[in-house]
Chains A and B, each alone.
Chain A
């Protein structure tokens, strides 16, 4: 059995994870506790019970993802930092999937938000501003953009909205970004400033 080498260089990690046989087995053996700890530390404050068991369930997936995606490692950080980032993302994807699995998109789009995200302490300037923004949304945005925006602003994570809209997180971010830019352009075209639209309560 090859000796433990948790302090491989980045190149050594990449070479061993791309190999087969004993070198690969040793790399996975040495990486496993690193990813398991990352999963446990991420899950423990966010799961009522069974964080350790869930971490054990996910660590194999994490190792597979690290191996499959090793080509995406940019090399400007430690490989183990990058690998732990993959594990953290996997943990959050699972948490969000479980939290939202029984919530259809319609429910989030139709209902007012229960916990709006923290933002500046401002409200809409007046009823006219509210009516104007609603009209601009109807005129400028596609139905898909409106739906996605409302769902995200109502608290549904991007990954979960993307899953329900048969797309991926990146494509959804671009859809939302385009929507925000369209609205900004529409505000500017009408000479509307933040003061016209938002009331800072001063």
Chain B
């Protein structure tokens, strides 16, 4: 098994940042919809759900899904507006 210095560097950095009370992917996923809605509403989701925020900082897979969900919700919000609001938004 090859553990190059680059891989070791990542491992050491992650190990040093590890805490006993970390959230798992499943636990983060269970709260992601609430976290996303709070973020979309401009509220401090990281303060309300700090363990979710920490997990997203350290887990690229969950981070990727969260960002995709945010994009989906923004598109849904835009498409849910009345046609005249969408027109005004395009002209602005």
B70 to A: closest C-beta gap in Å: 10
Interface of B is mostly: helix
Is B68 touching A122 in the complex (CB atoms < 8 A)? no
Q: A85-B32, A124-B9 are in contact. Are A180 and B15 (CB under 8 A)?
A: yes
Is B10 touching A88 in the complex (CB atoms < 8 A)? no
Which one of A22-30, A60-68, A144-152 is at the B interface? A144-152
A176 to B: closest C-beta gap in Å: 9
Which residue of chain A has its CB nearest to the CB of B74? Answer: A41
Chain B interface size range = 35 or more
Q: How many residues of A contact B (CB 8 A)?
A: 57
Which residue of chain A has its CB nearest to the CB of B32? Answer: A85
Which residues of chain B have C-beta atoms less than 8 A from A153's C-beta? 7, 10-11
Instruction: Give a binary string over B3-18; 1 marks a CB under 8 Å from any A CB, 0 the rest.
Output: 1111111111111101
Total A-B pairs, Cβ < 8 A: 145
In chain A, positions 92-142 with a C-beta closer than 8 Å to chain B are 92, 109-113, 116-117, 119-120, 122-124, 130, 133-134, 137
Instruction: Give a binary string over B22-62; 1 marks a CB under 8 Å from any A CB, 0 the rest.
Output: 10111001111110110000000000000000000001110
Is B9 touching A123 in the complex (CB atoms < 8 A)? yes
Is A177 touching B18 in the complex (CB atoms < 8 A)? yes
Can you name 10 A-B residue pairings with CB atoms under 8 Å? A85-B33, A88-B68, A92-B64, A109-B1, A119-B10, A130-B8, A137-B3, A170-B24, A170-B26, A183-B18
User: B residues bordering A, Cβ < 8 Å?
Assistant: 1-16, 18, 20, 22, 24-26, 29-34, 36-37, 59-61, 64-65, 68-69, 71-73, 75-76, 79
User: A residues bordering B, Cβ < 8 Å?
Assistant: 34, 37-38, 41-42, 72, 74, 76-78, 81-82, 84-85, 87-89, 91-92, 109-113, 116-117, 119-120, 122-124, 130, 133-134, 137, 146-147, 149-150, 153-154, 157-159, 169-170, 173-174, 177, 180-181, 183-184, 187, 194, 197-198
